């Protein structure tokens, strides 16, 4: 694990944060939602799927299913049809229905605000819980680690881990807590716009001089 007390590392991290704030001053989730339940469902659907596709699918979905009980009592075939474009639709439908049932049975139909309660819901692990807590309530109980955050955190030399939970622990140790939510949102945007998986656009990315480009083989 990267040593959290390393002064040089922390100084470099402060500069990275400064530049990310300059580039993404209003970094927020790209998912569209009007309630905690809609955000939870959208985040579950976003697994292995573009946010744009989720946003294309959810208007019709949210019109038909408006409460946790609606999802709990959904017809699987109808739900699968509505979310088909997001991929892995059978498993997602099963998780969303189970999520709705658990919300009804254990939480009065409301989305809980605690990590330990959220991760009890089907289809919800720490990443999903962190997204919902941060986006809806501004609660920082951890750091979102998706594929972009995993890749870029490694390229920045801030972790040597490959397991998302271990990467999150490294980031929680290094980052000021007030930056936990911002880091996830900003780095995800940076991954989509600039630091792509196959061919990162290193020149002019904004992090020149503070990024060691660990594992980067191509740049343009």
Q: Which residue numbers are catalytic? A: 127, 146
Radius of gyration from C-alpha coordinates of the chain: 18
**What six digits make up the tokens of 193?**
């716009």
Q: What is the DSSP string of the chain?
A: ---TT-HHHHHHHHHHHHHHHHH-TT-------SSHHHHHHHHHHTTTS-HHHHHHHHHHHHHH--SHHHHHT--HHHHHHHHGGGSSHHHHHHHHHHHHHHHHHHHTTS--SSHHHHTTSTT--HHHHHHHIIIII---SS----HHHHHHHHHTTS----SHHHHHHHHHHHS-GGGHHHHHHHHHHHHHHT--SSS---TTSS-TTT---TT-----
């Amino acid at each position: 694990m990267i040593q959290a007390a390393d002064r040089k590392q922390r100084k470099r991290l402060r500069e990275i944060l400064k530049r990310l704030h300059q580039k993404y001053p209003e970094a927020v989730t790209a998912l569209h939602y009007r309630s905690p339940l809609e955000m939870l469902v959208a985040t579950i659907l976003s697994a292995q799927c573009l946010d744009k596709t989720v946003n294309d699918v959810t208007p019709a979905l949210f019109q038909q299913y408006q409460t946790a009980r609606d999802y709990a009592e959904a017809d699987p075939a109808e739900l699968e049809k509505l979310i088909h474009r997001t991929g892995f639709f059978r498993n997602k439908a099963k998780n969303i229905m189970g999520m709705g049932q658990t919300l009804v049975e254990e939480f009065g139909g409301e989305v809980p605000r605690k990590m330990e309660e959220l991760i009890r819901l089907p289809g919800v692990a720490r990443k999903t819980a962190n997204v919902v807590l941060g986006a809806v309530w501004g609660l920082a109980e951890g750091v979102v680690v998706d594929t972009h955050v995993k890749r870029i955190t490694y390229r920045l030399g801030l972790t040597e881990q490959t397991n998302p939970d271990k990467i999150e622990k490294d980031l929680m140790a290094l980052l000021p807590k007030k930056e936990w939510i911002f880091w996830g949102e900003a780095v995800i945007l940076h991954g989509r716009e600039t630091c792509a998986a196959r061919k990162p656009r290193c020149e002019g990315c904004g992090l020149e001089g503070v990024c060691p480009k660990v594992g980067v083989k191509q740049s343009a």
